[in-house]
């Protein structure tokens, strides 16, 4: 129905519209342009599966919307408390798991089907994604095998702060492995 040549035309026809749309969602022209570019790249890849049930403009906008949602989700995770990515923080569900990010699978149960080397490799990669400070603290706890009290003194942390950091690092590591292994 449509092909890659069409996508090229759609730049002329719809890019301005998409930019206006993106600008209403994020107030950063540079970032918005990046999204428009990504949107067309995705469109090029997906055009063969686009059946024309909606107009090209609607289809392109839906791709763009997904990119913007992802962007905000990632930003929010980084900006706000890590714990609020994993647990509800108000209402009647307060403190219970947010199901999309919960341990619905046990990564320990994958232990047998993944080689020891791969496990360590993946864990390294996941460790790299931790915020710098919690990486340092995890390093002190596990690599240097220091006790909590010692680390608290070195990093000038209260005991409860220390455990909050370890707790969050574990949530992030676990979730990172779950995404890789399931």
Contact at 8 Å (CB) between 105 and 182? yes
152 binds another protein (CB under 8 A): no
Q: Which of 3, 37, 58, 109 binds another protein (CB under 8 A)?
A: 109
Tell me the closest approach of the beta carbon of residue 85 to another protein, in angstroms.
Answer: 11
- Residues 74, 80, 84, 86: what is their CA dihedral angle, to the nearest 10 degrees? 40
The reply to whether 80 sits near another protein by the rule CB under 8 A is no
Q: Is residue 12 a contact residue for another protein (CB under 8 A)?
A: no
Angle at 45 between CA 43 and CA 48, to 5 degrees: 90
Per CB under 8 A, the segment of 34-42, 48-56, 60-68, 114-122 that binds another protein is 114-122
CA nearest neighbour of 83 among 102, 107, 104: 102
Cβ–Cβ under 8 Å, residues 180 and 119: no
Residues lying near another protein in the complex (CB under 8 A) are found at 83, 86-87, 94-97, 102-109, 111, 116, 119-120, 123-124, 138, 142-143, 145, 147-148, 163-164, 166-167, 170-171, 173-174, 177
């Amino acid at each position: 129905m449509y092909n890659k040549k069409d996508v090229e035309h759609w730049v002329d026809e719809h890019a301005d519209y998409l930019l206006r749309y993106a600008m209403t969602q994020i107030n950063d022209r540079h970032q918005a342009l990046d999204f428009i570019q990504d949107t067309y790249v995705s469109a090029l890849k997906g055009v063969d599966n686009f059946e024309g049930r909606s107009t090209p403009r609607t289809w392109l906008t839906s791709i763009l919307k997904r990119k913007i949602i992802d962007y905000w989700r990632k930003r929010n995770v980084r900006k706000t408390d890590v714990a609020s990515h994993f647990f509800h923080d108000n209402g009647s569900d307060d403190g219970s798991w947010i199901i999309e990010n919960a341990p619905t699978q046990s990564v320990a149960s994958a232990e047998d089907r993944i080689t020891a080397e791969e496990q360590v490799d993946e864990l390294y990669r996941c460790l790299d994604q931790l915020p710098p400070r919690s990486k340092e603290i995890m390093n002190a706890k596990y690599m240097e095998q220091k006790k909590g009290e010692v680390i608290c003194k070195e990093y000038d942390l209260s005991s409860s702060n220390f455990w909050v950091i370890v707790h969050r690092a574990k949530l992030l590591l676990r979730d990172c492995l779950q995404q890789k292994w399931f």
